[in-house]
Amino acid sequence: MKKKQFIIPLVILVLLFGQITASNAIRINTIQSAQSTNAVSSKPVFDTSDPIPTFDRDDENHQGALIIADPSKNVTNVTIWYKLEGGDNTTIPYLFGDDGGFNLSWTDPTPMVYDVEKSNNSDIAYYNYTFDIKSDFIMFRAWYGDWEDEMNIPNVITTGVRIETYFLHSFYTQYDQIDMNISLYNYNITSYGVKYREYTPQHDEIFQNKTFSLTDEGTYTNVSAAITHSFSPGTQVEIRSFIVQFDNLTKTERIYTENVAHIITLSEGTPEISLNSDRYTNNLNVSVEWNATPITGEITAVEFNWGDGNVETLANLSIHTVYHLYDEAKEYNITIRVEVGASFGNKTITVLIDQLDPSGSITVIDNDDDPTDYNITINGPKNVEIIYNSTDEGGSGVQKVRIETDEGNAYEVTSANGTYIVEFLNFGYHTVYLKVYDNAGNVFTTSITFFIHGVTQPKDIGVPFSTFAVVVGIISLTILIKRRK
Protein backbone atom coordinates (compact mmCIF):
# COMPACT_ATOMS: atom_id res chain seq x y z
CA MET A 1 0.00 0.00 0.00
CA LYS A 2 1.12 3.58 -0.60
CA LYS A 3 2.38 5.81 2.15
CA LYS A 4 0.68 9.13 1.55
CA GLN A 5 2.83 10.82 4.17
CA PHE A 6 5.84 10.42 1.86
CA ILE A 7 4.35 12.31 -1.09
CA ILE A 8 6.63 15.17 -2.11
CA PRO A 9 4.95 18.36 -3.36
CA LEU A 10 5.28 18.84 -7.11
CA VAL A 11 7.08 22.14 -6.66
CA ILE A 12 9.87 20.43 -4.75
CA LEU A 13 10.13 17.72 -7.40
CA VAL A 14 10.52 20.25 -10.17
CA LEU A 15 13.18 22.10 -8.19
CA LEU A 16 15.10 18.87 -7.73
CA PHE A 17 15.95 18.77 -11.44
CA GLY A 18 17.71 22.12 -11.23
CA GLN A 19 19.35 21.40 -7.86
CA ILE A 20 20.91 18.19 -9.10
CA THR A 21 22.49 20.00 -12.05
CA ALA A 22 23.79 22.87 -9.92
CA SER A 23 25.21 20.56 -7.26
CA ASN A 24 26.92 18.47 -9.89
CA ALA A 25 28.62 21.56 -11.31
CA ILE A 26 30.09 22.43 -7.89
CA ARG A 27 31.19 18.86 -7.25
CA ILE A 28 32.74 18.52 -10.71
CA ASN A 29 34.93 21.56 -10.13
CA THR A 30 36.26 19.98 -6.93
CA ILE A 31 36.99 16.65 -8.61
CA GLN A 32 38.52 18.32 -11.62
CA SER A 33 41.07 20.02 -9.36
CA ALA A 34 41.98 16.67 -7.82
CA GLN A 35 42.44 15.07 -11.23
CA SER A 36 44.33 17.94 -12.86
CA THR A 37 47.67 16.18 -12.32
CA ASN A 38 46.62 13.22 -14.45
CA ALA A 39 47.48 13.08 -18.14
CA VAL A 40 44.19 11.48 -19.23
CA SER A 41 41.38 13.82 -20.27
CA SER A 42 38.50 11.79 -21.64
CA LYS A 43 35.13 10.49 -20.64
CA PRO A 44 34.41 6.97 -19.42
CA VAL A 45 32.42 4.66 -21.65
CA PHE A 46 29.91 2.17 -20.29
CA ASP A 47 31.17 -1.26 -21.35
CA THR A 48 28.94 -3.97 -19.91
CA SER A 49 27.38 -5.36 -16.75
CA ASP A 50 26.68 -8.64 -14.97
CA PRO A 51 23.94 -9.58 -15.68
CA ILE A 52 24.22 -8.56 -19.33
CA PRO A 53 22.30 -5.29 -19.96
CA THR A 54 18.73 -5.79 -21.06
CA PHE A 55 19.17 -2.70 -23.24
CA ASP A 56 22.77 -1.69 -23.83
CA ARG A 57 23.86 1.90 -23.88
CA ASP A 58 23.47 3.65 -27.26
CA ASP A 59 24.71 7.24 -27.30
CA GLU A 60 23.87 7.67 -30.96
CA ASN A 61 20.20 7.09 -30.18
CA HIS A 62 20.42 8.91 -26.81
CA GLN A 63 19.75 5.81 -24.74
CA GLY A 64 21.29 4.72 -21.47
CA ALA A 65 21.80 1.12 -20.44
CA LEU A 66 18.92 -0.70 -18.76
CA ILE A 67 19.74 -3.65 -16.50
CA ILE A 68 17.08 -5.89 -15.00
CA ALA A 69 17.99 -7.19 -11.55
CA ASP A 70 15.48 -9.92 -10.90
CA PRO A 71 15.21 -10.82 -7.19
CA SER A 72 13.35 -14.02 -8.11
CA LYS A 73 16.56 -15.19 -9.82
CA ASN A 74 18.76 -14.16 -6.89
CA VAL A 75 20.13 -11.18 -8.81
CA THR A 76 20.60 -8.90 -5.82
CA ASN A 77 23.99 -7.48 -6.79
CA VAL A 78 24.88 -6.00 -10.15
CA THR A 79 28.44 -5.30 -11.32
CA ILE A 80 29.07 -2.70 -14.02
CA TRP A 81 32.22 -1.92 -16.04
CA TYR A 82 33.50 1.27 -17.63
CA LYS A 83 36.52 1.66 -19.89
CA LEU A 84 38.78 4.67 -20.22
CA GLU A 85 41.36 5.13 -22.96
CA GLY A 86 44.77 5.95 -21.48
CA GLY A 87 43.55 5.24 -17.98
CA ASP A 88 45.40 3.47 -15.20
CA ASN A 89 44.97 2.58 -11.56
CA THR A 90 45.16 6.26 -10.55
CA THR A 91 42.80 7.77 -13.11
CA ILE A 92 39.62 6.57 -11.47
CA PRO A 93 36.16 7.44 -12.93
CA TYR A 94 33.51 8.54 -10.49
CA LEU A 95 29.87 7.53 -10.25
CA PHE A 96 26.97 9.85 -9.53
CA GLY A 97 23.37 8.75 -9.15
CA ASP A 98 20.53 7.64 -6.93
CA ASP A 99 20.48 4.18 -5.37
CA GLY A 100 17.78 4.90 -2.82
CA GLY A 101 19.95 6.72 -0.31
CA PHE A 102 22.50 4.05 0.60
CA ASN A 103 25.78 4.88 -1.16
CA LEU A 104 25.30 6.64 -4.49
CA SER A 105 24.55 10.38 -4.68
CA TRP A 106 24.00 12.94 -7.43
CA THR A 107 26.28 15.36 -5.56
CA ASP A 108 28.92 13.27 -3.78
CA PRO A 109 31.21 11.21 -6.05
CA THR A 110 31.75 7.49 -5.56
CA PRO A 111 35.02 6.14 -7.02
CA MET A 112 35.07 2.99 -9.10
CA VAL A 113 37.56 0.13 -8.70
CA TYR A 114 40.45 -0.43 -11.14
CA ASP A 115 39.98 -3.86 -12.73
CA VAL A 116 43.50 -5.30 -13.01
CA GLU A 117 42.47 -8.54 -14.71
CA LYS A 118 40.22 -6.91 -17.34
CA SER A 119 42.66 -4.06 -18.04
CA ASN A 120 45.60 -6.48 -18.43
CA ASN A 121 48.15 -3.67 -18.84
CA SER A 122 46.52 -2.47 -22.08
CA ASP A 123 46.09 1.13 -23.25
CA ILE A 124 42.45 0.92 -22.18
CA ALA A 125 41.80 0.70 -18.46
CA TYR A 126 38.66 -0.96 -17.09
CA TYR A 127 36.87 -0.11 -13.87
CA ASN A 128 34.02 -1.82 -12.06
CA TYR A 129 31.53 -1.19 -9.34
CA THR A 130 29.08 -3.55 -7.64
CA PHE A 131 25.70 -2.29 -6.49
CA ASP A 132 24.06 -3.86 -3.50
CA ILE A 133 20.40 -3.75 -4.56
CA LYS A 134 18.30 -2.41 -1.71
CA SER A 135 15.74 -0.35 -3.67
CA ASP A 136 13.33 -0.73 -6.56
CA PHE A 137 15.68 1.01 -8.97
CA ILE A 138 19.12 2.64 -9.25
CA MET A 139 20.07 5.45 -11.65
CA PHE A 140 23.74 6.32 -12.29
CA ARG A 141 26.22 7.84 -14.72
CA ALA A 142 30.02 8.10 -14.73
CA TRP A 143 32.33 11.09 -14.94
CA TYR A 144 36.03 11.59 -15.58
CA GLY A 145 37.06 14.70 -17.44
CA ASP A 146 33.55 14.71 -18.89
CA TRP A 147 30.31 12.83 -18.49
CA GLU A 148 30.00 9.54 -20.31
CA ASP A 149 27.18 11.24 -22.21
CA GLU A 150 26.96 15.02 -22.57
CA MET A 151 23.17 14.82 -22.32
CA ASN A 152 23.51 13.23 -18.85
CA ILE A 153 21.29 10.30 -19.74
CA PRO A 154 21.24 7.94 -16.74
CA ASN A 155 21.79 4.22 -16.81
CA VAL A 156 19.20 2.26 -14.84
CA ILE A 157 19.29 -0.90 -12.76
CA THR A 158 15.76 -1.93 -11.87
CA THR A 159 14.08 -4.76 -10.03
CA GLY A 160 11.09 -4.35 -12.32
CA VAL A 161 9.78 -0.81 -12.29
CA ARG A 162 10.53 0.90 -15.61
CA ILE A 163 9.17 3.26 -18.24
CA GLU A 164 8.85 2.89 -21.98
CA THR A 165 7.71 5.93 -23.93
CA TYR A 166 6.75 6.31 -27.56
CA PHE A 167 5.13 9.02 -29.65
CA LEU A 168 1.63 8.54 -30.99
CA HIS A 169 2.70 10.13 -34.29
CA SER A 170 5.97 10.14 -36.15
CA PHE A 171 5.40 13.64 -37.50
CA TYR A 172 4.71 16.80 -35.52
CA THR A 173 4.43 20.43 -36.53
CA GLN A 174 4.74 23.65 -34.56
CA TYR A 175 0.96 23.60 -34.09
CA ASP A 176 0.60 20.04 -32.78
CA GLN A 177 0.35 18.82 -29.26
CA ILE A 178 3.10 16.25 -28.83
CA ASP A 179 1.14 13.14 -27.84
CA MET A 180 2.93 10.32 -26.05
CA ASN A 181 2.04 6.99 -24.56
CA ILE A 182 3.92 5.93 -21.44
CA SER A 183 4.02 2.23 -20.54
CA LEU A 184 4.59 1.55 -16.84
CA TYR A 185 5.89 -1.79 -15.55
CA ASN A 186 5.60 -2.86 -11.89
CA TYR A 187 4.64 0.65 -11.04
CA ASN A 188 3.48 2.22 -7.80
CA ILE A 189 3.19 5.94 -8.50
CA THR A 190 1.58 9.12 -7.29
CA SER A 191 2.19 11.12 -10.48
CA TYR A 192 3.90 10.91 -13.84
CA GLY A 193 4.96 13.35 -16.50
CA VAL A 194 7.39 14.50 -19.13
CA LYS A 195 10.13 17.08 -19.15
CA TYR A 196 11.10 18.71 -22.42
CA ARG A 197 13.36 21.39 -23.81
CA GLU A 198 14.91 22.63 -27.03
CA TYR A 199 17.69 20.32 -28.09
CA THR A 200 20.92 22.31 -28.52
CA PRO A 201 24.55 21.24 -28.96
CA GLN A 202 25.33 22.65 -25.51
CA HIS A 203 22.38 20.83 -23.85
CA ASP A 204 21.96 23.84 -21.58
CA GLU A 205 18.32 24.76 -22.13
CA ILE A 206 16.12 24.57 -19.03
CA PHE A 207 13.64 21.69 -18.95
CA GLN A 208 9.95 22.45 -18.82
CA ASN A 209 7.87 19.98 -16.83
CA LYS A 210 4.39 18.63 -17.46
CA THR A 211 3.05 16.54 -14.57
CA PHE A 212 -0.12 14.47 -14.38
CA SER A 213 -1.74 13.03 -11.28
CA LEU A 214 -2.27 9.28 -11.05
CA THR A 215 -2.48 7.47 -7.74
CA ASP A 216 -2.39 3.84 -8.73
CA GLU A 217 -0.37 0.67 -8.52
CA GLY A 218 -0.07 -2.47 -10.55
CA THR A 219 2.16 -4.54 -12.78
CA TYR A 220 1.48 -2.88 -16.13
CA THR A 221 -0.52 0.03 -17.51
CA ASN A 222 -0.50 2.64 -20.26
CA VAL A 223 -0.94 6.34 -19.60
CA SER A 224 -0.86 9.26 -22.01
CA ALA A 225 0.65 12.73 -22.00
CA ALA A 226 0.18 15.69 -24.33
CA ILE A 227 2.61 18.60 -24.43
CA THR A 228 1.52 21.97 -25.74
CA HIS A 229 4.38 24.20 -26.79
CA SER A 230 5.41 27.32 -28.70
CA PHE A 231 8.44 26.00 -30.55
CA SER A 232 8.90 27.18 -34.12
CA PRO A 233 9.27 24.86 -37.12
CA GLY A 234 12.70 23.32 -37.46
CA THR A 235 13.24 23.17 -33.69
CA GLN A 236 14.55 19.91 -32.28
CA VAL A 237 12.79 19.01 -29.04
CA GLU A 238 14.23 16.66 -26.42
CA ILE A 239 11.63 14.82 -24.32
CA ARG A 240 12.05 12.49 -21.34
CA SER A 241 9.33 10.92 -19.21
CA PHE A 242 9.44 10.37 -15.46
CA ILE A 243 7.37 9.00 -12.63
CA VAL A 244 7.14 9.89 -8.96
CA GLN A 245 7.21 6.41 -7.41
CA PHE A 246 6.75 5.08 -3.93
CA ASP A 247 9.69 2.71 -3.45
CA ASN A 248 8.46 -0.34 -1.55
CA LEU A 249 11.97 -1.29 -0.47
CA THR A 250 13.16 2.09 0.80
CA LYS A 251 9.65 3.25 1.82
CA THR A 252 10.35 6.64 0.27
CA GLU A 253 9.02 8.75 -2.58
CA ARG A 254 11.52 8.77 -5.50
CA ILE A 255 11.75 10.19 -9.00
CA TYR A 256 12.41 7.65 -11.73
CA THR A 257 13.56 9.28 -14.98
CA GLU A 258 13.44 7.39 -18.24
CA ASN A 259 16.92 6.60 -19.52
CA VAL A 260 16.03 7.55 -23.10
CA ALA A 261 16.07 11.07 -24.54
CA HIS A 262 13.54 11.21 -27.37
CA ILE A 263 14.42 13.77 -30.06
CA ILE A 264 11.90 15.04 -32.60
CA THR A 265 12.14 17.82 -35.17
CA LEU A 266 9.08 20.01 -35.57
CA SER A 267 8.05 20.55 -39.17
CA GLU A 268 6.34 23.46 -40.84
CA GLY A 269 2.66 22.69 -40.39
CA THR A 270 1.01 25.68 -42.02
CA PRO A 271 -0.87 24.53 -45.14
CA GLU A 272 -0.41 26.56 -48.30
CA ILE A 273 -3.61 28.61 -48.71
CA SER A 274 -4.95 30.69 -51.57
CA LEU A 275 -7.96 32.96 -51.07
CA ASN A 276 -9.28 35.10 -53.91
CA SER A 277 -12.14 37.52 -54.45
CA ASP A 278 -12.71 40.83 -56.22
CA ARG A 279 -11.11 43.58 -54.17
CA TYR A 280 -14.07 45.85 -55.04
CA THR A 281 -17.65 44.95 -55.85
CA ASN A 282 -21.09 46.57 -55.87
CA ASN A 283 -22.82 43.29 -55.05
CA LEU A 284 -23.82 42.47 -51.48
CA ASN A 285 -23.53 38.76 -52.32
CA VAL A 286 -19.75 38.26 -52.27
CA SER A 287 -18.12 35.17 -53.77
CA VAL A 288 -14.76 33.82 -52.60
CA GLU A 289 -12.59 31.08 -54.07
CA TRP A 290 -10.25 29.10 -51.78
CA ASN A 291 -7.71 26.32 -52.08
CA ALA A 292 -5.35 24.74 -49.57
CA THR A 293 -2.51 22.24 -49.82
CA PRO A 294 -1.44 20.60 -46.55
CA ILE A 295 2.22 19.91 -45.91
CA THR A 296 1.20 16.50 -44.64
CA GLY A 297 -2.08 14.75 -43.87
CA GLU A 298 -5.51 15.82 -45.05
CA ILE A 299 -7.66 18.89 -44.50
CA THR A 300 -10.01 18.24 -41.62
CA ALA A 301 -11.87 21.56 -41.30
CA VAL A 302 -12.29 24.89 -43.09
CA GLU A 303 -13.77 27.91 -41.33
CA PHE A 304 -14.67 31.34 -42.73
CA ASN A 305 -14.86 34.46 -40.61
CA TRP A 306 -16.75 36.87 -42.85
CA GLY A 307 -15.87 39.96 -40.85
CA ASP A 308 -19.46 40.90 -40.07
CA GLY A 309 -19.84 38.74 -36.97
CA ASN A 310 -20.68 35.60 -38.93
CA VAL A 311 -18.42 32.54 -38.77
CA GLU A 312 -19.12 29.61 -41.07
CA THR A 313 -17.68 26.09 -41.00
CA LEU A 314 -17.82 24.50 -44.42
CA ALA A 315 -19.81 21.28 -44.53
CA ASN A 316 -18.50 20.22 -47.93
CA LEU A 317 -14.73 20.64 -48.34
CA SER A 318 -14.88 19.74 -52.03
CA ILE A 319 -16.68 23.02 -52.88
CA HIS A 320 -14.10 25.76 -53.36
CA THR A 321 -16.36 28.71 -54.26
CA VAL A 322 -18.41 30.05 -51.38
CA TYR A 323 -20.84 32.96 -51.11
CA HIS A 324 -21.87 35.28 -48.32
CA LEU A 325 -24.67 37.84 -48.35
CA TYR A 326 -23.88 41.05 -46.46
CA ASP A 327 -26.43 43.43 -44.99
CA GLU A 328 -24.70 46.67 -45.94
CA ALA A 329 -22.10 48.06 -48.27
CA LYS A 330 -18.75 48.68 -46.58
CA GLU A 331 -15.28 47.15 -46.26
CA TYR A 332 -14.88 43.66 -44.76
CA ASN A 333 -11.91 41.50 -43.77
CA ILE A 334 -12.55 37.88 -44.71
CA THR A 335 -10.40 35.23 -42.98
CA ILE A 336 -10.15 31.54 -43.77
CA ARG A 337 -8.79 29.00 -41.28
CA VAL A 338 -7.70 25.65 -42.66
CA GLU A 339 -7.05 22.83 -40.21
CA VAL A 340 -4.99 19.73 -40.89
CA GLY A 341 -5.31 17.72 -37.71
CA ALA A 342 -3.79 19.88 -35.00
CA SER A 343 -2.03 22.05 -37.58
CA PHE A 344 -3.70 25.09 -39.05
CA GLY A 345 -3.16 28.10 -41.25
CA ASN A 346 -4.92 31.43 -41.77
CA LYS A 347 -5.27 33.79 -44.70
CA THR A 348 -7.12 37.12 -44.84
CA ILE A 349 -8.29 39.26 -47.74
CA THR A 350 -10.18 42.57 -47.79
CA VAL A 351 -13.28 43.23 -49.87
CA LEU A 352 -14.97 46.64 -50.27
CA ILE A 353 -18.62 46.69 -51.25
CA ASP A 354 -19.11 50.06 -53.00
CA GLN A 355 -22.61 50.87 -54.22
CA LEU A 356 -22.12 54.64 -54.68
CA ASP A 357 -21.87 55.88 -58.25
CA PRO A 358 -18.87 58.02 -59.11
CA SER A 359 -19.44 61.57 -60.32
CA GLY A 360 -18.08 63.80 -63.09
CA SER A 361 -18.51 66.97 -65.15
CA ILE A 362 -17.78 68.07 -68.72
CA THR A 363 -17.45 71.46 -70.42
CA VAL A 364 -16.25 72.72 -73.79
CA ILE A 365 -14.40 75.88 -74.77
CA ASP A 366 -14.52 77.67 -78.10
CA ASN A 367 -11.83 79.75 -79.77
CA ASP A 368 -12.26 82.64 -77.38
CA ASP A 369 -11.73 80.34 -74.40
CA ASP A 370 -15.20 80.97 -73.08
CA PRO A 371 -16.42 77.76 -71.34
CA THR A 372 -19.97 79.07 -70.97
CA ASP A 373 -20.72 79.84 -74.65
CA TYR A 374 -21.98 76.67 -76.31
CA ASN A 375 -22.45 78.36 -79.68
CA ILE A 376 -19.01 77.51 -80.99
CA THR A 377 -17.45 79.05 -84.06
CA ILE A 378 -14.56 77.12 -85.58
CA ASN A 379 -12.06 78.55 -88.10
CA GLY A 380 -10.35 75.34 -89.06
CA PRO A 381 -11.02 71.58 -88.57
CA LYS A 382 -14.12 70.52 -86.71
CA ASN A 383 -12.29 69.91 -83.39
CA VAL A 384 -13.61 70.83 -79.96
CA GLU A 385 -11.53 70.91 -76.77
CA ILE A 386 -13.28 69.12 -73.88
CA ILE A 387 -12.59 69.75 -70.18
CA TYR A 388 -13.61 66.79 -67.95
CA ASN A 389 -13.44 65.93 -64.24
CA SER A 390 -14.29 62.73 -62.32
CA THR A 391 -14.32 61.62 -58.67
CA ASP A 392 -15.40 58.59 -56.64
CA GLU A 393 -16.82 58.92 -53.15
CA GLY A 394 -17.51 55.20 -52.62
CA GLY A 395 -13.89 54.32 -51.93
CA SER A 396 -13.12 51.95 -54.79
CA GLY A 397 -11.63 54.72 -56.94
CA VAL A 398 -12.07 55.81 -60.55
CA GLN A 399 -11.13 52.99 -62.89
CA LYS A 400 -11.49 54.77 -66.25
CA VAL A 401 -13.15 57.70 -68.04
CA ARG A 402 -14.83 57.36 -71.44
CA ILE A 403 -15.79 60.20 -73.82
CA GLU A 404 -18.36 59.41 -76.55
CA THR A 405 -19.84 61.53 -79.34
CA ASP A 406 -23.19 61.39 -81.09
CA GLU A 407 -21.33 60.50 -84.28
CA GLY A 408 -20.29 57.16 -82.78
CA ASN A 409 -16.72 57.98 -81.80
CA ALA A 410 -15.45 56.93 -78.36
CA TYR A 411 -12.23 57.72 -76.49
CA GLU A 412 -10.91 56.23 -73.23
CA VAL A 413 -8.63 58.46 -71.22
CA THR A 414 -6.19 57.35 -68.56
CA SER A 415 -6.38 60.25 -66.11
CA ALA A 416 -9.39 61.11 -63.96
CA ASN A 417 -9.22 64.82 -64.85
CA GLY A 418 -7.93 66.74 -67.83
CA THR A 419 -8.66 67.98 -71.35
CA TYR A 420 -9.22 66.14 -74.61
CA ILE A 421 -9.59 67.20 -78.26
CA VAL A 422 -12.73 65.69 -79.80
CA GLU A 423 -13.05 65.55 -83.60
CA PHE A 424 -16.35 65.87 -85.47
CA LEU A 425 -17.35 65.16 -89.07
CA ASN A 426 -20.06 67.75 -89.48
CA PHE A 427 -21.05 71.22 -88.31
CA GLY A 428 -24.26 71.67 -86.39
CA TYR A 429 -25.62 70.42 -83.06
CA HIS A 430 -23.61 67.74 -81.23
CA THR A 431 -23.79 65.94 -77.91
CA VAL A 432 -20.74 64.66 -76.05
CA TYR A 433 -21.17 62.04 -73.27
CA LEU A 434 -18.88 61.56 -70.28
CA LYS A 435 -18.94 58.12 -68.59
CA VAL A 436 -17.06 57.54 -65.32
CA TYR A 437 -16.43 53.96 -64.14
CA ASP A 438 -15.28 53.04 -60.63
CA ASN A 439 -13.45 49.83 -59.66
CA ALA A 440 -16.57 48.33 -58.11
CA GLY A 441 -18.50 48.41 -61.42
CA ASN A 442 -20.60 51.52 -60.78
CA VAL A 443 -21.05 53.94 -63.73
CA PHE A 444 -21.91 57.65 -63.86
CA THR A 445 -22.99 59.35 -67.12
CA THR A 446 -23.40 63.03 -67.99
CA SER A 447 -23.46 64.94 -71.27
CA ILE A 448 -23.27 68.35 -72.90
CA THR A 449 -24.86 69.64 -76.13
CA PHE A 450 -23.53 72.51 -78.25
CA PHE A 451 -23.68 73.95 -81.79
CA ILE A 452 -20.61 74.35 -83.92
CA HIS A 453 -20.34 76.25 -87.18
CA GLY A 454 -17.50 77.49 -89.39
CA VAL A 455 -16.46 81.10 -90.11
CA THR A 456 -17.91 82.42 -93.54
CA GLN A 457 -15.04 83.48 -95.85
CA PRO A 458 -15.56 86.71 -98.16
CA LYS A 459 -15.78 85.94 -101.94
CA ASP A 460 -13.79 87.77 -104.83
CA ILE A 461 -16.29 90.19 -106.71
CA GLY A 462 -15.61 90.65 -110.53
CA VAL A 463 -15.89 94.06 -112.43
CA PRO A 464 -19.28 94.41 -114.34
CA PHE A 465 -19.09 94.36 -118.22
CA SER A 466 -20.51 97.88 -118.77
CA THR A 467 -18.00 99.47 -116.44
CA PHE A 468 -15.22 97.58 -118.13
CA ALA A 469 -16.26 98.97 -121.57
CA VAL A 470 -16.37 102.56 -120.27
CA VAL A 471 -12.90 102.25 -118.79
CA VAL A 472 -11.50 100.77 -121.98
CA GLY A 473 -13.12 103.51 -124.03
CA ILE A 474 -11.66 106.28 -121.91
CA ILE A 475 -8.20 104.80 -122.11
CA SER A 476 -8.47 104.43 -125.92
CA LEU A 477 -9.75 108.01 -126.40
CA THR A 478 -6.90 109.38 -124.34
CA ILE A 479 -4.35 107.58 -126.44
CA LEU A 480 -5.99 108.84 -129.74
CA ILE A 481 -5.97 112.50 -128.61
CA LYS A 482 -2.30 112.32 -127.75
CA ARG A 483 -1.43 110.94 -131.19
CA ARG A 484 -3.27 113.80 -133.12
CA LYS A 485 -1.41 116.41 -131.22
What is the secondary structure of 332-369 as a DSSP string?
Answer: EEEEEEEEETTEEEEEEEEEEE-----EEEEEEE-TT-
What's the start-to-end Cα distance of the chain, in Å?
175
Which residues, other chains included, contact 150 with Cβ-Cβ below 8 Å and sequence gap of 6+?
A: 203
Whether the CB-CB separation of 104 and 98 falls below 8 Å is answered with yes
Whether the CB-CB separation of 92 and 114 falls below 8 Å is answered with yes
Size of the chain, expressed as the number of residues it contains:
485
Distance CA 430, CA 448 (A): 8
Whether the CB-CB separation of 416 and 398 falls below 8 Å is answered with yes
Q: Select from 165, 158, 219 the least CA-distant residue to 196.
A: 165
Q: Where does 271-356 show beta strands of DSSP type E?
A: 272-276, 280-281, 285-293, 301-305, 311-313, 321-325, 331-340, 343-353
Q: What is the structure's pLDDT at 274? A: 97
Which residues, other chains included, contact 330 with Cβ-Cβ below 8 Å and sequence gap of 6+?
A: 352, 353
Q: Work out the number of other CB atoms within 10 angstroms of the CB of residue 153.
A: 24
**Cα radius of gyration rounded to whole Å, the chain:** 48
Distance CA 201, CA 361 (A): 72
Q: What is the structure's pLDDT at 382? A: 85
Q: Select from 111, 82, 103, 90 the least CA-distant residue to 36.
A: 90
Q: Residue 54, Cα to own-chain centre: how many angstroms?
A: 43
Q: Select from 245, 254, 250 the least CA-distant residue to 215.
A: 245
Amino acid at 434: L
Distance CA 14, CA 436 (A): 72
Bridge partners, 82 (sequence order): 46, 127
Q: What is the structure's pLDDT at 215? A: 81
Distance CA 68, CA 357 (A): 85
Bridge partners, 170 (sequence order): none
Enumerate domains of the chain plus CATH numbers.
Answer: 4-265 (2.60.40.1930), 272-353 (2.60.40.10), 359-454 (2.60.40.2550)
Q: What is the structure's pLDDT at 192? A: 95
Q: Select from 86, 90, 107 the least CA-distant residue to 43.
A: 86
Q: Select from 425, 337, 433, 352 the least CA-distant residue to 386.
A: 433
Q: Select from 146, 226, 220 the least CA-distant residue to 184.
A: 220
Q: What is the structure's pLDDT at 365? A: 74
Q: Which pairing describes strands 146-147 and 155-158: parallel, antiparallel, or unpaired?
A: unpaired
Q: Select from 295, 286, 310 the least CA-distant residue to 345.
A: 295
Each residue's pLDDT tens digit, 411-420: 999 899 999 9
Q: What is the sign of the dihedral through the CA atoms of 198, 202, 203 and 206? A: negative
Q: Work out the number of other CB atoms within 10 angstroms of the CB of residue 51.
A: 15
Considering the entire predicted model, what is its pTM? 0.61
Distance CA 344, CA 199 (A): 25
Query: Which element (helix H / strand E) includes 219?
Result: strand 208-227
Longest dimension (CA), the chain: 181
Q: What is the structure's pLDDT at 266? A: 92
Q: What is the mean pLDDT of each run of 10 residues along the chain (485 residues)?
A: 34 38 43 47 92 94 94 90 93 95 93 96 93 95 93 94 91 87 90 95 94 88 92 94 92 94 91 96 98 89 97 96 98 96 90 97 72 68 90 95 95 92 90 96 95 69 50 47 47
Q: What is the structure's pLDDT at 17? A: 42
In degrees rounded to 5, what are phi and psi of residue 232? -85, 165
Q: What is the structure's pLDDT at 369? A: 55
Bridge partners, 323 (sequence order): 287
- The torsion angle over the Cα atoms of residues 310, 315, 317 and 323, rounded to 10 degrees, is -40
| 280, burial (CB in 10 Å: exposed 0-12, middle 13-18, buried 19+) | buried
Q: Where does 27-123 show beta strands of DSSP type E?
A: 45-50, 66-68, 77-85, 94-98, 110-111, 113-114
